[in-house]
């Protein structure tokens, strides 16, 4: 099989198209070999594709919605070995291709007579690419950054660093605001690039391939949350060596990054910016509120972390402290959630009673009589318990929409709060801020 000028790679559903493309290539004097998806599982497919790609002078990939991993491996091998790549569009269905194939500019052989398709293919094989399909820009925008205060000098430093050497890294502790700074920078200078990919280590393999096989034009690849340089080195260098202008922006806790990366290190916000962030986060905030410690100090320590975490943690802590002898209800059967909530709530709950899943006789009694999947009458149980207490109570629920109002009975209000899973995590973060807002509050960006 080795030694052919043209290697045709296709999924099994396009076997007939592969044969037709092979005939056209042979008629133009090109020796042809073919690889089709469906190789036995025990074969090392990546090794086979790599070997055949290195032996060929050109790789023709028939784009398909089936077998995309096999086709993507061929695309990656072609770029890894420097073998010219010719994607071919043979499927006239309107649905888009799966990533990372959908953005490739391809020779369109659909919707025309076979004679015209053969002319297009021959021209493409000879290097005069006619009939190319130009896909949309490769884009995955950064997250929003509102509110964003301060950091003007850091934005200017990042601008200088990235556009001087094409690669920059924003470093600092977790929660210091690396992602927020990078996102604001990208949104501010969005017009400089035709393609922008905001990536994470979890999807970096696919995104790196999308970056180096994108249509022509300046591009920016952002890797948010890289553990360190060695972890992403092998996949970053093909992007940095791209023949077109490609900027690479990384955020990372690790401070040591070699050339060509220029480092922008972040520290805490200045006091004035921290104060403005606190005011934006909690309108009407008073610095004397004790629930999370002095909030400007907590905001300084997290330096621009998600304000929703501060707001959710503050509200839940305030609510719990308003009920000295009330109760809260944890509506979940997840032992991990129960343990997390109990641990986070312990410091502010005082003697508030915990009614958690499976830990009170009334709930077990109800399950025995109605079945394990039956809905527990959360609202009825809460109102009954509230009626038995002469003091205000606080009802905190997770995973239940039973308490979306503030009912009253005999002048005794029940303060209601429903917690989602995300708010539970925010609550735990809030308690860490309250316990030690300077050294123990650093959460994830």
pLDDT digits (tens, 9 = 90+) for 337-391: 445 545 544 544 444 344 333 344 444 444 444 444 444 444 444 444 444 444 3
pLDDT tens per residue, range 285-326: 444 333 333 333 333 333 233 333 334 434 444 444 443 333
Q: What is the CA radius of gyration of the chain?
A: 29
CATH number of 139-265: 3.40.50.300
Domain ranges of the chain: 6-133, 139-265, 271-435
Kind and range of the H or E run holding 161: helix 152-165
Highest mean pLDDT of the ranges 26-40, 244-258, 348-362, 431-445: 244-258
Average pLDDT over every residue of 207-228: 79
pLDDT at 129: 67
- Higher local confidence (pLDDT), 31 or 303: 31
pLDDT tens per residue, range 44-54: 778 888 888 88
pLDDT at 325: 34
Q: In the predicted model, what is the mean pLDDT of the chain?
A: 65
Fold match flag (6-133 vs 271-435): yes
Give the DSSP per-residue string, 200-243: -GGGHHHHHHHHHTSPSS-EEEEEEEE--HHHHHHHHHHHHT-S
Euclidean distance between CA atoms 173 and 322, whole angstroms: 34
pLDDT tens per residue, range 148-201: 777 889 999 999 999 888 899 999 876 577 888 898 898 888 888 888 888 887
Fold observed for domain 271-435:
Rossmann fold (3.40.50)
pTM, two decimal places: 0.48
Region of 347 on the Ramachandran plot (φ > 0 left; ψ -120 to 50 alpha; else beta): alpha
pLDDT at 397: 38
Of the listed ranges 18-27, 39-48, 252-261, 391-400, the one predicted with least confidence:
391-400
10 Å Cβ neighbour count for 31? 13
Domain 6-133, CATH homologous superfamily name and number: Flavodoxin domain (3.40.50.360)
């Amino acid at each position: 099989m080795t030694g052919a000028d043209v290697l045709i790679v296709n999924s099994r559903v396009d076997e007939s198209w592969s044969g037709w493309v092979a005939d056209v290539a042979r008629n133009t004097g090109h020796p042809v070999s073919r690889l089709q998806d469906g190789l036995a599982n025990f074969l090392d497919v990546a090794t086979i594709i790599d070997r055949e790609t290195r032996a060929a002078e050109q790789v023709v990939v028939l784009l398909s919605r089936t077998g995309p991993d096999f086709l993507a491996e061929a695309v990656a091998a072609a770029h890894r070995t420097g073998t010219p790549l010719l994607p071919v569009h043979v499927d006239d269905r309107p649905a888009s291709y799966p990533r990372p194939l959908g953005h490739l500019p391809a020779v369109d052989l659909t919707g025309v007579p076979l004679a015209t398709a053969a002319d297009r293919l021959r021209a493409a094989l000879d290097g005069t690419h006619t009939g190319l399909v130009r896909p949309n820009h490769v884009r995955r925008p950064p997250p929003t950054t509102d509110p964003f205060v301060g950091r003007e000098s850091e934005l200017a430093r990042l601008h200088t660093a990235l556009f001087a050497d094409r690669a920059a890294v924003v470093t600092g502790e977790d929660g210091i605001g690396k992602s927020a700074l990078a996102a604001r920078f990208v949104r501010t200078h969005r017009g400089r690039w035709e393609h922008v990919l905001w990536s994470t280590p979890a999807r970096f393999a696919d995104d790196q391939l999308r970056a180096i096989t994108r249509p022509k034009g300046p591009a920016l690849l952002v890797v948010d949350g890289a553990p360190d340089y060695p972890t992403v080195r092998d996949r970053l260098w093909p992007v940095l060596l791209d023949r077109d202008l490609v900027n690479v922006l990384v955020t990372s806790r690790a401070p040591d990054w070699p050339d060509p990366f220029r480092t922008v290190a972040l520290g805490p916000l200045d006091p004035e910016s921290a104060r403005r962030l606190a005011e934006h986060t909690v309108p009407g905030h008073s610095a004397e509120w004790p629930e999370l410690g002095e909030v400007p100090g907590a905001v300084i320590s997290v330096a621009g972390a998600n304000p929703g975490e501060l707001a959710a943690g503050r509200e839940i802590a305030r609510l719990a402290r308003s009920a000295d002898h009330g109760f809260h209800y944890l509506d979940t059967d997840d032992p991990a959630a129960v343990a997390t909530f109990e641990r986070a709530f312990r410091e502010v709950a005082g003697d508030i009673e915990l009614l958690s899943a499976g830990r009170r006789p009334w709930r077990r009694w109800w399950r025995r009589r109605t079945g394990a999947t039956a809905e527990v009458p959360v609202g009825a149980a809460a109102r009954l318990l509230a009626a038995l207490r002469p003091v205000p109570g606080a009802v905190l629920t997770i995973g239940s929409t039973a308490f979306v109002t503030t009912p009253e009975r005999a002048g005794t209000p029940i303060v209601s709060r429903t917690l989602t899973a995300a708010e539970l995590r925010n609550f735990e973060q809030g308690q860490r801020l309250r316990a030690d807002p300077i050294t123990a509050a650093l959460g994830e960006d």
